[in-house]
Amino acid sequence: NQERLAKLQHTVTTSADGVGVTLAANIGTPQDIPNVLRNGAEAIGLMRTEFLYMDADHLPSEDQQFAAYKEVLAAMAPHPVVMRTLDIGGDKPLPYLQQKPEANPFMGARAIRRSLTHQEAFRSQLRALLRASAFGNLRIMFPMIATLDEFRQAKAIYDDERSKLTVKQVPMGTVKVGMMVEVPAAALLADRFAQEVDFMSIGTNDLIGYTMAADRTNQDVGYLYQPYHPAILRLVNRVIAAGHNAGIPVAMCGEMAGDPIAVPLLLGMGLDEFSMGAGSILKTRELIAKLNAKDLQSLVETALNSASTSQEVITMVQAAVPGLL
Ligand code: PEP
Ligand code: MG
């Protein structure tokens, strides 16, 4: 089994009928890179930069961040690396950043909301990222975007830091700037967002939690955490279609992207990039090679239009892809 998968390490990812997709990895620190390369990732679809911040007892300096980002970008070049700006709060508190206690941290001042009100840390991270961009293929992504105003504000701060570095003649690479779609409001308005962002990446871990109104860390409501729920599938499909209508690529970096039941559906919907834990990449490449993307479009249509429950969707996928589970 290991040997069979190892053969796929240096191959591209293509469906049986020739549709190419990118299989990317989710990482936390530069130390994850050797394992990512061993597992044949074609890109980094999500670097959760919080880990650099969580491993210390104070905010890392701009230079410390720069060194870490540069290491990842250089190791992956020329492949793209999507780095997400700070996603602090919710399930990722930072003990040394005095945060006000909140009754509902998941609905509170987390991620981009906090970056926009605490701009110093945000700006220092953007400068570190921009300086590192000279060493590889960087894409920057903002987490938890709910409104266009938030994206525009974050982008304006990015533009501001970029122009300041340009004046100082700091070398920088071309950088795409995109957003995570993990708040249902953003998924519903994806067609508008798609006019202004360079790319979208669907964060299903939070999107499922917020859509089902179930805390992702609370086991008592874990049964509501249903990636194949028709409501979730409709949101995901909507985001992919909106991105493609606007001519931008759509990725997924939540756990769902590496889930064998979800993969046929996502391939049928036309998802461009699947980003997952490194350990799932080769298995997913092998699965996609057996799938016929064109045939899966009718599975998607049936799942979107006639399924009422997650179980119905699972049964449909198993019927369409014999031997899946
Ligand atoms: C997500 O929400 O799906 C995601 C990828 O981000 P995180 O799990 O870090 O919140
Ligand atoms: Mg998230």
Binding residues for phosphoenolpyruvate: 48, 84, 205-206, 216
More confident residue, 93 or 72: 72
Entry pTM: 0.97
Binning pLDDT at 50, 70 and 90, where does residue 97 land? confident
What are residue 180's DSSP bridge partners?
Answer: 201
For ligand 1, atom 7, which residue shows the shortest CA distance? 205
For ligand 1, atom 4, which residue shows the shortest CA distance? 203
CB 304 within 8 A of CB 274: no
Ligand 1: does its nearest atom lie under 6 Å from the Cβ of 253? yes
Question: Both tokens of residue 143?
Answer: 């987490």
β strands within 122-278, DSSP E: 137-142, 176-181, 200-202, 250-252, 273-276
**pLDDT, tens digit, for every residue of 218-229?**
999 999 999 999
CB 69 within 8 A of CB 29: no
The secondary structure of residue 89, as a DSSP letter, is: B
| pLDDT of 55 over the 90 cut | no
Which of 27, 144, 253, 300 is flagged as catalytic? 253
Binding residues for Mg(2+): 182, 206
Q: What is the residue type of 29?
A: T
ipTM over 0.85: yes
Ligand 1: does its nearest atom lie under 6 Å from the Cβ of 54? no
Q: Which of 250, 244, 256, 135 is nearest to 181 (CA)?
A: 250
Spatial separation of the C-alpha atoms in residues 200 and 84, rounded to whole Å:
12
Ligand 1: does its nearest atom lie under 6 Å from the Cβ of 45? no
Q: Is 19 a catalytic residue?
A: no
Centre of ligand 2 to C-alpha 281, Å, is: 20
Q: How far is residue 297 from each of residues 77, 225, 267, measured CA to CA in Å?
A: 34, 25, 8
| pLDDT of 267 over the 80 cut | yes
More confident residue, 325 or 23: 23
Spatial separation of the C-alpha atoms in residues 70 and 128, rounded to whole Å:
9
Question: Both tokens of residue 165?
Answer: 């570095």
| pLDDT of 325 over the 80 cut | no
| pLDDT of 126 over the 80 cut | yes
CB 69 within 8 A of CB 104: no
Ligand 1: does its nearest atom lie under 6 Å from the Cβ of 50? no
Centre of ligand 2 to C-alpha 247, Å, is: 24
Binning pLDDT at 50, 70 and 90, where does residue 208 land? very high
pLDDT for res 98 = 67
Spatial separation of the C-alpha atoms in residues 136 and 173, rounded to whole Å:
7
